[in-house]
């Protein structure tokens, strides 16, 4: 499936947000995720279905000042 992940086109065989995060090796409880501009909470990722050309943003915390 073709998805836009953090602004980059990707061809990924994922049907849910949880599968996408697993395939792309995103881990941790501190991730923030959005699909097509809508926040998706951690507990909803397993059931959140993805569609062709969805725009996914994955944000991870950064250290620094």
Handedness of CA 8, 13, 16, 22 (dihedral sign): negative
Superfamily name with CATH number, domain 2-59: Beta-grasp domain (3.10.20.30)
- Residue 48, C-beta contacts closer than 8 angstroms, at least 6 positions apart: 16, 17, 18, 35, 40
pTM of the model: 0.89
- In the prediction, which pLDDT does 35 show? 98
3-state secondary structure of 3: strand
Question: Which pLDDT score, from 0 to 100, does residue 63 have?
Answer: 66
Tens of pLDDT, residue by residue over 6-50, are: 999 999 999 999 999 999 999 877 899 999 999 999 999 999 999
In the chain, domain spans: 2-59
Q: What is the biggest distance separating any 2 CA atoms in the chain, rounded to whole angstroms?
A: 38
């Amino acid at each position: 499936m073709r998805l836009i992940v953090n602004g980059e086109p990707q061809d990924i065989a994922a049907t849910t947000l949880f599968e996408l995060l697993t395939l792309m090796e995103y881990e941790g409880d501190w991730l923030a995720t959005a699909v097509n501009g809508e926040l998706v909470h951690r507990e909803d990722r397993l059931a959140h279905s993805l569609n062709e050309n969805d725009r996914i943003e994955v944000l991870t915390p950064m250290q620094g000042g």
